[in-house]
């Protein structure tokens, strides 16, 4: 009889643990979804003046430009994508100077 109580108690404990795990997994999914939605809604701000940056396509690469101060901000990979196309400009000379 004591053995049956132990098994029943263990089963109840496992059920409580499973319900707790399910609750926290659902809560984590909701928090991640809210965080993802907030990131999509947020616009990047200009480091110089703080205005919202607008995406602009330049030679097939989307860069961020500030409409207020006209600054252009590049994300990872955008500079490397533009540099080979600008071999004769200061940007190209900076990346492709003779060694």
pTM of the model: 0.46
- Per DSSP, which regions of the chain are E strands? 54-58, 61-65, 72-73
In our burial notation (b when 16+ CB lie closer than 10 A, e otherwise), range 69-94 reads eeeeeeeeebeeebeeeeeeeeeeee
Q: Other C-beta atoms within 10 Å of 63: how many?
A: 19
pLDDT tens digits along 16-71: 999 999 999 999 888 888 776 655 545 678 888 888 888 899 888 888 899 999 88
């Amino acid at each position: 009889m004591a053995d049956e109580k132990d098994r029943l108690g263990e089963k109840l404990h496992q059920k409580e643990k499973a319900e707790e795990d399910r609750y926290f997994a659902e809560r984590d999914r909701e928090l991640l979804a809210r965080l993802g939605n907030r990131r999509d809604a947020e616009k990047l701000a200009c480091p110089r003046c703080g205005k919202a940056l607008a995406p602009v396509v330049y030679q097939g690469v989307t860069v961020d430009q500030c409409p207020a101060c006209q600054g252009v901000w590049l994300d990872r990979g955008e500079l490397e994508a533009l540099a080979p196309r600008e071999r004769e400009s200061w940007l190209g000379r900076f990346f492709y100077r003779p060694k």
